Chain A
Amino acid sequence: GAGVSQSPRYKVAKRGQDVALRCDPISGHVSLFWYQQALGQGPEFLTYFQNEAQLDKSGLPSDRFFAERPEGSVSTLKIQRTQQEDSAVYLCASSLEPYGYTFGSGTRLTVV
């Protein structure tokens, strides 16, 4: 596609519920990144894929967070047993080369 597509755009989850957030990167982009942006703050790095390989997951805040990219294209960020502090915008970005990162519009997760 023309840009990075994220779905859903908005998600409301009850505390304790599992959620899955999808990122469809630009076709052919090798690298894919997930970021978490709390209200009023800058994006915080979560994890990074190069093709299907997860090269860095140091930013995942707990073992409730899990990301995958099994075929090297679409990626899913899963959060198990959501808690209120998980409420944030989750941004996905993809890149073909080190210079150009393209971000999606994000998924706004609200845990109630």
Chain B
Amino acid sequence: AQKITQTQPGMFVQEKEAVTLDCTYDTSDPSYGLFWYKQPSSGEMIFLIYQGSYDQQNATEGRYSLNFQKARKSANLVISASQLGDSAMYFCAMREGEGNNDMRFGAGTRLTVKP
């Protein structure tokens, strides 16, 4: 069963505008971590932001914030003030349980920032 769902294959946003990339997840484990990664055309996976299941507040990292709605099992990424360099694939991922377990990824969303 798919554990991470990203329903937007592609998104467009105007430069300097904000954009939300959707992610829903499925787990029965009370302890889990949620991640967002950026993958530009060069292929490397760049870590953006992390949210733990027990964190009380939404994670923020610069222009990135994570809209964590635990009851709805959603972890949407918000990018504020989009820049042309934000154009890339964005992947949501989840790691279940305690300890250093593997991550499972969604199918990704391709974001294109228009000038």
CB <8 Å contact, B100 and A50: yes
CB <8 Å contact, A99 and B43: no
Q: How large is the interface on A (under 10, 10 to 19, 20 to 34, 35 or more residues)?
A: 20 to 34
Number of A-B contacts (CB under 8 A): 55
CB <8 Å contact, A101 and B47: yes
A105 at the interface (CB under 8 A from B): yes
The distance in angstroms between the C-alpha atoms of A56 and B104, with both chains bound, is: 13
User: Out of A43, A50, A99, which one reaches B105, CB within 8 Å?
Assistant: A43
User: Out of B45, B100, B108, which one reaches A41, CB within 8 Å?
Assistant: B108
Q: Chain A interface mostly helix, strand, loop or mixed?
A: strand
> Which single residue of chain A is at the shortest CB-CB distance from B107?
A42
User: Out of B6, B99, B103, which one reaches A101, CB within 8 Å?
Assistant: B103
User: Which residues of chain A come closer than 8 Å to B6, judged between CB atoms?
Assistant: 42
CB <8 Å contact, A33 and B102: yes
CB of A92 to closest CB in B, whole Å: 10
B29 at the interface (CB under 8 A from A): no
The distance in angstroms between the C-alpha atoms of A29 and B95, with both chains bound, is: 18
A interface with B by C-beta (< 8 Å)? 30-31, 33, 35, 41-45, 48, 50, 56, 59, 89, 91, 93, 95, 97-106, 108
Task: Given contact pairs A45-B103, A98-B95, enumerate 12 new A-B contacts (beta carbons under 8 Å).
Answer: A30-B100, A31-B100, A33-B103, A42-B108, A45-B104, A93-B45, A95-B100, A98-B98, A98-B100, A99-B33, A103-B44, A108-B43
